[in-house]
Structure 1
Amino acid sequence: MVAFLVANELRQSLHASLDKGESRYVWINEILDPTGGPGYARRLIHPLLPGTEGTLLSTEHRDSSGRQPYKTELEGVLQGSGIFFDYRFPRSRGGPEEDKTTYAALYPPFQWIVASGVYMGDINNAALTAHADIMQEKSRLERWHLLLTLGACLLLFLAIGHALFRQSRTRQRQMRQRMGRLENELEQRGEDRLSMEAIAACLAREILAGKFEPDDNFPREMDLCKRFDASRNRLRNALAQLVGAGLLERTAGRGTLVRPMSEWQLLDPLMSDWISGLEGINPALMREIYAFRLSVEPYVSALAATKANAQDLARLERAFEGMVATANDEQQAAHSEFDVAFHEAIYRATHNLVWAQLGSLLRPSISQLIESSQQAAQQHDQAHHRASLERHRAVMEAIRLRQPDMARTCAERVLETAARDLGFGLDHPRLETPRFST
């Protein structure tokens, strides 16, 4: 009775395992006659062939290969231990027989032979799959090994290249030092050559005057050395100043190019020196300087009206009186100097460190604009010059009376007059200056 109940429980479980799609299963044969022969056992549970459960088995049965699997199984389990044996059995009901290897063992309490097997084809497929996985992993490891080897070689080459590069740089530096010493010796012998600063100033002023367009190729070093009768080292130092000021760009393979005006460092002190000695400034650069003044000076004038002290007002008066005294064609240079001093005094009257220093740095640029404006204004009569002086006076009085809004308006009128003299339009962008309250 116990064996019957256990068999029913196992039958449900084993059938369910095969229903889940598992390729391996367990079957149970109950021994009826240990001596073998027809009817030696009854098929108790077989998930693959449930319709044959309860049928009698014979040790004389042979598979398609001629082997007697039931006889081999019975003899093996009766020896007291399990047995592995091969035979042929269909994979599915009604299908062809395939090679299969099985392990069977005896369960003595119920005289059951419990067995489970694996088809050789599944073993081969599993082996092939495992082999493919191993080969894929091997290939991956080989790729990593190759990458690591290449990386190590690359690092080695970089280390060697870096060492050679440093050695080359050291030799070049030593060569430049020797060339520098030779040049110094030549200079000490009294050869009459332009200084590096003079060469840089000459070349910079040619660019600032508009002789070269943006992205133009600059003359070659060899040609410039011949032009200035200068050594290559001295010329390179001069060009380095122009590169630092944003006027030139030196690119390997392209040579030396003139950079766009937007890249020029106009606040560089060297630029101020170069602009101060310039004759005929680039019109485009002049428009940029004017646009800056139109955007900034009205605000600076309004700020000066709130900050100026007695010394600032005295400085403004002296500059303005100088403008009045030199308002004639014979003293145009002196008049320009007083005009520049007038505007510089407004920057200083803000008592702001940045504005004051900015006014000093931009002095040459402002001077160029003022000189160009006055040269253009020479075609007008004296009434035009007096009107210009009155506009400057209005700015000074607004600052003296601490009227920031009026100072801003008067400064705009001064700059609008300059724009008309230079032939500029009045559509330049400007800062949104705040309204000051007194």
Structure 2
Amino acid sequence: MGLLETTIAGRKRGSSHAHVVAELGNAIVSGAIPEGSILPGDAELSQRFSVSRTVLREAMKTLAAKRLIEAKAKVGTRVLPRSSWNFFDPDVLGWRCDAGVDLVFIEYLAEMRMALEPAAAAAAAERATSDDIVALYAIAARFDDPSHSPETIAKVDLEFHLAIARMSGNPFMRSASALIEAALAIAFRLSSPAASPEMIEEVATNHLRIVHAIASRDADKAVAAMRHVIDVGRGRIQKSLSPAPVALVPAGG
């Protein structure tokens, strides 16, 4: 299950291994377990989570692969600094979103999308097949539905952007899809365009511009249209996070 689907459906407890990974990962990324700290020993953790040492060791390997922890002989398992964490990993991004988002995090995420997705749209304009373009038009048409809920429009949005990543022909673009999912998961939580028919219409129009540019093989227009979509989404989320203006009461009133 991807990050967006998990956000919509809620996180479900899976295997013992997944439970240990999620509990420790969440605690590390949220700061409940501080950077640089040494985790308790295997015996204590096995008892805490009621799992075997084999399950615990596999969970630790998973967290190490995400660059959250590092085991060293005679030292123990240390929590790595935030600068080492793999934020391209869907779990790490999900835990970061669960810990709460702020304007700085939104900006970082938008910067990465701006670096990747316009380039993917440009590549799609050059490499997409006729069948790819027909399929993309079909996805874009599904935006234009005033009855969209936040869940349904988010799923169409994700399908659209992942299709362009795939059409780019660049495997690195598709591998970075967790960033797109994170942005859409945040939008789903904070500022869905399904809030009004006018916003749905705007989203539909903006995404259709991307398809038109790709279909006309105009890489520059595809870049501009994609940048506009990301900018609009970023602005909507930033507005939702900004404090509401305080009404001034006239003196003596």
Scaled to the shorter chain, the TM-score interval is 0.7 to 0.9
CA distance in 2, matches of 1:209, 1:382: 36
Which residue of structure 2 lines up, in the alignment, with residue 371 of structure 1? 185
Which residue of structure 2 lines up, in the alignment, with residue 318 of structure 1? 138
Higher helix share: 2
Which of these two proteins has the greater Rg computed from alpha carbons? 1
**CA deviations over 1:36-85 (Å, ceiling 9, x no partner):** xxxxxxxxxxxxxxxxxxxxxxxxxxxxxxxxxxxxxxxxxxxxxxxxxx
Which residue of structure 2 lines up, in the alignment, with residue 290 of structure 1? 110
Indicate conservation of the 8 Å contact 1:205/1:275, yes or no: no
Query: Percent identity over the alignment?
Result: 22
Which residue of structure 1 lines up, in the alignment, with residue 151 of structure 2? 333
Count how many residue pairs are aligned between Structure 1 and Structure 2: 223
Which residue of structure 1 lines up, in the alignment, with residue 223 of structure 2? 408
CA distance in 2, matches of 1:321, 1:278: 33
CA distance in 1, matches of 2:31, 2:186: 15
Alignment partner of 1:195 out of 5, 16, 35? 16
Match of 2:70, SS? strand
CA distance in 2, matches of 1:263, 1:246: 6
Match of 2:71, SS? strand
CA distance in 1, matches of 2:71, 2:105: 22
CA distance in 2, matches of 1:250, 1:326: 53
Which residue of structure 1 lines up, in the alignment, with residue 11 of structure 2? none
Greater relative CO (CA pairs within 8 A, separation 6+): 2
Q: Report the CA distance shift for 1:419/1:351 in structure 2 as closer, same or farther (over 3 A).
A: same
The 5 A counterparts of 1:153-172 are none
Q: Report the CA distance shift for 1:197/1:324 in structure 2 as closer, same or farther (over 3 A).
A: same
Per-residue deviation at 1:322?
Answer: 3.1
Q: CA RMSD in A?
A: 3.2
Quick one: which amino acid aligns to residue 150 of structure 2?
Answer: Q
Say if 2:251 is the partner of 1:251: no
**CA deviations over 1:177-202 (Å, ceiling 9, x no partner):** xxxxxxxxxxxxxxxx9532442244
TM-score, normalised with respect to structure 1: 0.45
Alignment partner of 2:165 out of 347, 353, 369? 347
TM-score, normalised with respect to structure 2: 0.73
The 5 A counterparts of 1:219-258 are 219-252=40-73, 254-258=75-79
Q: Report the CA distance shift for 1:372/1:226 in structure 2 as closer, same or farther (over 3 A).
A: same
CA distance in 2, matches of 1:378, 1:204: 28
Which residue of structure 2 lines up, in the alignment, with residue 383 of structure 1? 198
Indicate conservation of the 8 Å contact 1:340/1:363, yes or no: no
Q: Report the CA distance shift for 1:223/1:366 in structure 2 as closer, same or farther (over 3 A).
A: farther
The 5 A counterparts of 1:110-149 are none
CA distance in 2, matches of 1:228, 1:415: 41
Which residue of structure 2 lines up, in the alignment, with residue 422 of structure 1? 237
Indicate conservation of the 8 Å contact 1:214/1:260, yes or no: yes
Any unmatched runs of 5+ in structure 1? 1-192, 425-438
The 5 A counterparts of 1:53-92 are none
Per-residue deviation at 1:373?
Answer: 1.7
Quick one: which amino acid aligns to residue 215 of structure 1?
Answer: G
Match of 2:126, SS? helix
Q: Report the CA distance shift for 1:327/1:245 in structure 2 as closer, same or farther (over 3 A).
A: farther
Match of 1:256, SS? strand
Say if 2:79 is the partner of 1:264: no
Per-residue deviation at 1:413?
Answer: 0.9
Per-residue deviation at 1:250?
Answer: 2.3
